[in-house]
Structure 1
Amino acid sequence: MEKTRSQYEKEKIMTLFKQMALALSLLIIIILGSVMAINYETAKEDMLESLYQTTVNNISSLTNKLSETGGEPAVITSIIDSEFDSGYYKRIKFISNDASFKYEQVDNDPIENVPEWFVNFADIHLKPVTADVTSGWNIIGTVTIEADTTIVYESLYQISRKLFYLFIIFVTVSLVLLNILLHYILKPLKRIQHQAEAILNNEFVIETKEPYTTEFKEVSHAMNAMVKKVEEIFNKANEAAKRNKELLYNDPVTKLYNRRYLMLRLPELLTLETKNQGGSILLVALNGADILNKQLGRKDADAFFAALAQNFIEECEDIEEKVIARVNGTEFTLMLPDCESYLSESIARSIFECFLDLADDHGVDTSVVYINIGIYRYRPGVSISDLLTRVDDALTKAKADERQHIYVYEEKNEKNALPKEQWRNILEESIEKNYFSLKFWPTMDVKTKTVNHKVMTFTIDDGKDKQFYYGDFIAPAINLGLVGKMYLVTLKDLLTKRHSELTGTICSIRLSNEFLKDSKAFEELSKLFYHYGKKLDFKLSFEVADSFAIHNTATVKGFVDLFKEYRYGFGINAFSGESNDFHYLKELNPEFIKADVSFLLDQTEESMNSLEVITKSLGIDLIATFVKDKQELETLQKLHIDKVQGPITDTF
């Protein structure tokens, strides 16, 4: 599910910049090193040659002095000692012609001011110079001298130090200039690389700065053309999806949703995690529609309905996850999750008063044209058929009340429902002692018949009498403000304990809307990832509800960036096509979106084609949820959807 390389992987790759820098750096070092070596050898040869010539000159002078001694040993010894003490010689040796007298002076003292390693490295050897000593026409002996190399070692050592320092300076300056030059030359390539990474990440980035290098310029033009083409495909598919949605799910007059869309969304809306355990549904019926059409005419009557629909939207503005639909010509349904009865009744009264004002503005007689509103306050677990039956009963009773025109049917809490404080004790104890038990449900790839990833949920189980499903305690947890703590405990459990069933797989966690709204959630999640989330034997992925992502894109984007920092995946669940614009998918860049099988199978061929183009252009996998039987599975496969969740996975 991972789309781009990590920074660590990039660092291991030998990039063009690194290759050029390494090659040129080695070339510079070799050239400078060669120059320094040649300079050293030249200086060494010059010094040795100069010293040899000096030695030749000195032996001529010495033989002249020794020839005047007449072969007297004492005088010869005195002259040799005097010359040796001058410090220019390492060795002076005299042998008389008949070998009866020999005298030698040798300097074996170590060389000072020069390290031993350099002496061994330089390894200077001068050839001794030998000459005959004559007195008149007679040879009285031979003298051999060897010059002292100390001065050569000292000079070479000083020269070598200076050459080394110059070498370091030249290499450093050269490498710095090389780095600057390569960065300048390869700057267009860096921009092309960033553009390529953005394309890999399904981001549409156009490079506006044109490279001056011909080859780079052609590559940049080609990539820009490709990005524009993909973006154009996305935009066309987005517009097509928007048109198809309006045709399929919107009332042409009021622009509200129609009955078809309402019925698709009801299963999801009834299972929403809400603070108030359930919500309210309003059924608004207009009586006298035929009279209204005759009195105002078709065009003005449509404007009347559109104004009434706008009033519905304004009155329910603060209700999240709402669905307002025109279910037929004269009836409207307002599905308001997490809405208490007193609030729904207040909304109904405001709608009724606005209707009266609207009728007055159009000169409509409200004694013959009026509305009735039935309200049903439902609780978790109610079925769709019961929901619609009871709100219809409420409307019937509202019609019977000619004075109020509004009737509230409230479903009371179950008699065995736990009180608030008892739930507080259960949840706080579960958080403190971690009574949460993690469960994992598979998402299958039917094409390969393998598990694509596993979805995590959790229950409460203390091993004794406290056993609750997620749906039992999520509403009290929301009401008590404990959702954040609850999720952090379960996530820490997931990250710190070994779960053998997850090894080598991907684990996806659905994040509650309430958790994402928590102001401390981001910081706490960052700390959790920093301490525990770096070394896992499975991959992590997180899911966010589609409706929350649409209305809170900036918040979700912050979490997505955090997930990417740790190379975690991200996806969207409960996708219902609610948004009229799919650009939020481009911004959030999910790896997958999950949609109810009933929603997917309800789409027209044109709608599915548009959705497929959008997801493929963004590199998004489409996953069907709540798939129950093989018939649904076969239909999904015809739509090129191979990843599924639901009861069908038990058959694999």
Structure 2
Amino acid sequence: MTLYKQISLLVSLLLLLLLGGVLGINFFKLKNSIEDQLYIQAKNSAYSLSIALSTIQNDHQKVREVIDTVFEHGAYELIEYEDQERLPVYRKQKVESRLEVPMWFTHLCNIHTVPVESQVKDNGQTLGAVLVISDKEVAYQQLYDLFKYLLYLFIFFTLLGHLFLHFVLRILLRSLKSIQQQAEEVNHNHFIIQKDLPSTVELRDVMIAMNSMIKRVKDLYERSSEAMKKYQDSLYYDPLTNLFNRRYFQVKLPEYLLANDDRSHGALLLIRMNGVPFGNKKIGHKKMDDLFIQFSSILQKLCNEGREPILCRLNGTEFAIVLPAYHKLAATELAQNIIKAFLVLADKFGLRENLYLSIGICEYARKDQVRDLLSCADTALFEASRHHENYVVAYGRDKEKSVINNANKTELRDIVVKALNEERLQPQFDPVVDLKTHQEIFYTLTFDISYDTHMLKFSDYAQMISDLGMEYDLMKFELEYMKKHHFKQHTIAFPLMVEMLHESEKLFYFEQSVKEIAKNMRGSLFVEISEYDLLALDPIVAERLSKELREHGVRIGITNFSGEKADYSYLKYTAPAYVKIHESLYLNIGSVSQNALHTLLGSLDIQLIVVDVNEENISRLENRSIRYVMFS
């Protein structure tokens, strides 16, 4: 038998058996499941009615009302109530049939509905019986709709399979569909190992080689992920509480102060637990460790509503919390809640009289100096400690307030609405530079708001937009702007506000707009989303979004990449073109973690871009194989 006939016969048989088997198995499984559901529904309804009717058996009017209500709100063919002498009291039966299923199909399926009878009893005395029969017309309709769908699916894939087989064989067996699928999925960071190898020697060798290559790439990805996880755990996590440690705090705080988003302003809390030596003497070190663990859980729970908070254990008794987008009053309220929860915890361990918290709070804004912020927070903590009891001291910013801080919510909304209506948003392009060629390869597009004599940068008003619930308005303006204008910059990236993904209408508008923009672009188009927002999305939504964008030639870019996640599977299903990591974080993760990061991203064909780069660190980055940067 020729190779052509072998493949033709084998694939045809497999296709018919597979699709036919799936059709038959799923169909009859669903049929049995529906019959079981009809029986359970009738049984539960009969039981519920028997209980209800046992209390009103002498009131025929209420009996009718109860049975009518159940009948109208369910799918029943008959509900009948008989007295103890088996004489009918009330009978409710379906009269009109709305079945839109062919008779041959009902004969083929022949769904059986079992009548269910339940005794109506009161104090052990039988008062009557209620009979319930479920309506099988709904089941027939569901089965018929499924049958049509599966039949169409069967016909479609049968024709598609034969056409594809004929086409492949006519071009001298260039490659099988399975091998093509493997290659395509590798591009999307999905690693598929084909287990069913063909009997033809030539094709078997090709598929074995393909499986071997994919397995190596997959192993490389998994080893890199595991290496990064282990290194990050030892480098940045407190072993007792699983909070971040002082080193992580020192790395991330400068990043937040330089961020171009809502992380760049908020409040810093320093917390000191006083009286720990007395606690160790009274209940022992082991129980004090348990107290610290539970206190850390309290902090995580109370700060969970914040956007990208940082919770760190600085030393044995001190903690730090960075709360983006928090103002002084909100941070103070959170601190009071921490103290309330701590009092309950201390009382639980019998240490309420021995332990107390001192909390110092200081507001921060973009480009504040780290040393000034820490000095402010330390001063607040010192003042709180002087009271020798649970106490909070909070400081606002001494610097001149911006228009955002001075304005109330109504005024802020007016500023934004006026800027949108009068098109006072001015585009700003921040370049990504190739250190090898010293050329600007693409640009990140954001919009600044011109207001009187002020110029509000995107990082200054991003959180305000979210607080006002105007993400969609701003995103719509930006998309319409990009539709109307042709930029001299060939390749553009723009930040996505995840509000666009929460409603189907907004998501559809976003996808259609991006499709139109990408069609008119001379170069590539990227949509940027922060790692925090991406992980907050349902993986199915994120994967679908990435797939839809790729179909239009648009790729995702991930910003605020931390490289500290235990699971990097989101990089596989979103298949980003690049990730952006802050300079201070990258330079402080160590060579081992850097190598693992490069290997991980390289295995997925993802570019690494270091942002907020200082000129004096260029040589260090180049020595570590960094090619793409964004300067601060």
Give the TM-score of the pair, scaled to structure 1: 0.66
Q: Residue 563 of structure 1 corresponds to which residue in structure 2?
A: 549
Cα deviation 1:559-580 (Å, max 9, x = unaligned): 3223212101221112122422
Partner of residue 484 from structure 1, selected from 472, 480, 490: 472
SS where residue 482 of structure 2 aligns?
helix
How far does residue 646 in structure 1 lie from its aligned partner after superposition?
0.3
How far does residue 499 in structure 1 lie from its aligned partner after superposition?
1.9
The question of 1:552 aligning with 2:540 is answered no
Partner of residue 617 from structure 1, selected from 582, 603, 607: 603
The question of 1:259 aligning with 2:277 is answered no
1:556 aligned partner, one-letter code: A
Question: C-alpha separation between the residues in 1 aligned to 2:365 and 2:265?
Answer: 4
The question of 1:182 aligning with 2:166 is answered yes
Give unmatched runs, 5+ long, in structure 1.
1-16, 22-174, 648-652
The question of 1:493 aligning with 2:481 is answered yes
1:608 aligned partner, one-letter code: Q
2:524 aligned partner, one-letter code: K
SS where residue 368 of structure 1 aligns?
coil
How far does residue 245 in structure 1 lie from its aligned partner after superposition?
0.4
Q: How does 1:288-307 map to 2 (within 5 A)?
A: 288-307=275-294
1:513/1:545 contact within 8 Å kept: no
**Cα RMSD (Å) of the superposition?**
3.2
Q: 1:277 to 1:232 in 2, by over 3 A?
A: closer
Partner of residue 338 from structure 2, selected from 351, 359, 362: 351
Question: C-alpha separation between the residues in 1 aligned to 2:397 and 2:247?
Answer: 26
Q: Residue 450 of structure 1 corresponds to which residue in structure 2?
A: 439
The question of 1:469 aligning with 2:453 is answered no
Question: C-alpha separation between the residues in 1 aligned to 2:265 and 2:506?
Answer: 25
Q: Residue 104 of structure 2 corresponds to which residue in structure 1?
A: none
Find the structure with the greater CA-based Rg.
Answer: 1
Partner of residue 429 from structure 1, selected from 412, 418, 422: 418
Q: Residue 409 of structure 1 corresponds to which residue in structure 2?
A: 395
Q: 1:467 to 1:329 in 2, by over 3 A?
A: closer
1:285/1:330 contact within 8 Å kept: yes
Q: Residue 563 of structure 2 corresponds to which residue in structure 1?
A: 577
Q: 1:201 to 1:177 in 2, by over 3 A?
A: closer
Question: C-alpha separation between the residues in 1 aligned to 2:204 and 2:526?
Answer: 38
1:457 aligned partner, one-letter code: T
How far does residue 378 in structure 1 lie from its aligned partner after superposition?
4.0
Q: How does 1:121-520 map to 2 (within 5 A)?
A: 179=163, 182=166, 189-270=176-257, 278-364=265-351, 366-379=352-365, 382-411=368-397, 414=401, 417-461=406-450, 467-500=455-488, 502=489, 505-513=490-498, 520=505
How far does residue 514 in structure 1 lie from its aligned partner after superposition?
5.1
Q: 1:408 to 1:513 in 2, by over 3 A?
A: farther
How far does residue 611 in structure 1 lie from its aligned partner after superposition?
0.7
1:636 aligned partner, one-letter code: L
How far does residue 519 in structure 1 lie from its aligned partner after superposition?
6.4
SS where residue 319 of structure 1 aligns?
coil
Give the TM-score of the pair, scaled to structure 2: 0.68
How far does residue 244 in structure 1 lie from its aligned partner after superposition?
0.5
SS where residue 280 of structure 1 aligns?
strand
Q: 1:420 to 1:272 in 2, by over 3 A?
A: farther
1:489 aligned partner, one-letter code: F
Cα deviation 1:82-113 (Å, max 9, x = unaligned): xxxxxxxxxxxxxxxxxxxxxxxxxxxxxxxx
2:228/2:564 contact within 8 Å kept: no
1:599 aligned partner, one-letter code: L
Question: C-alpha separation between the residues in 1 aligned to 2:354 and 2:408?
Answer: 47
Q: 1:197 to 1:538 in 2, by over 3 A?
A: same
Q: Residue 73 of structure 1 corresponds to which residue in structure 2?
A: none
Question: C-alpha separation between the residues in 1 aligned to 2:560 and 2:273?
Answer: 33
Q: 1:578 to 1:550 in 2, by over 3 A?
A: farther
How far does residue 216 in structure 1 lie from its aligned partner after superposition?
1.8
1:434 aligned partner, one-letter code: E
How far does residue 622 in structure 1 lie from its aligned partner after superposition?
1.0
Question: C-alpha separation between the residues in 2 aligned to 1:492 and 1:536?
Answer: 14
**Segment of structure 1 superposing worse, 345-354 or 226-235:** 345-354
2:435/2:628 contact within 8 Å kept: yes
Q: Residue 534 of structure 1 corresponds to which residue in structure 2?
A: 519
Q: 1:452 to 1:601 in 2, by over 3 A?
A: same
Q: Residue 39 of structure 2 corresponds to which residue in structure 1?
A: none
Question: C-alpha separation between the residues in 2 aligned to 1:183 and 1:434?
Answer: 55
Question: C-alpha separation between the residues in 2 aligned to 1:213 and 1:342?
Answer: 73
1:595 aligned partner, one-letter code: I
1:496 aligned partner, one-letter code: K
How far does residue 516 in structure 1 lie from its aligned partner after superposition?
5.2
Q: 1:367 to 1:465 in 2, by over 3 A?
A: closer
1:269/1:321 contact within 8 Å kept: no
1:207/1:224 contact within 8 Å kept: yes
Q: Residue 26 of structure 2 corresponds to which residue in structure 1?
A: none
Task: Quote the sequence identity (%).
Answer: 28
**Segment of structure 1 superposing worse, 254-263 or 301-310:** 301-310
1:486 aligned partner, one-letter code: L
How far does residue 509 in structure 1 lie from its aligned partner after superposition?
1.2
Q: 1:253 to 1:429 in 2, by over 3 A?
A: same
How far does residue 325 in structure 1 lie from its aligned partner after superposition?
0.2
Question: C-alpha separation between the residues in 1 aligned to 2:193 and 2:231?
Answer: 29
2:479/2:514 contact within 8 Å kept: no
1:542/1:568 contact within 8 Å kept: yes
How far does residue 553 in structure 1 lie from its aligned partner after superposition?
5.1
Question: C-alpha separation between the residues in 2 aligned to 1:388 and 1:199?
Answer: 47
Question: C-alpha separation between the residues in 2 aligned to 1:247 and 1:332?
Answer: 18
How far does residue 181 in structure 1 lie from its aligned partner after superposition?
5.7
How far does residue 274 in structure 1 lie from its aligned partner after superposition?
7.4
Question: C-alpha separation between the residues in 1 aligned to 2:164 and 2:224?
Answer: 45
Question: C-alpha separation between the residues in 2 aligned to 1:616 and 1:276?
Answer: 29
1:276/1:479 contact within 8 Å kept: no
Cα deviation 1:533-562 (Å, max 9, x = unaligned): 313212111111122222325343343223
The question of 1:639 aligning with 2:628 is answered no
How far does residue 532 in structure 1 lie from its aligned partner after superposition?
4.4
Aligned residues: 470
How far does residue 513 in structure 1 lie from its aligned partner after superposition?
4.8
Question: C-alpha separation between the residues in 2 aligned to 1:377 and 1:517?
Answer: 31
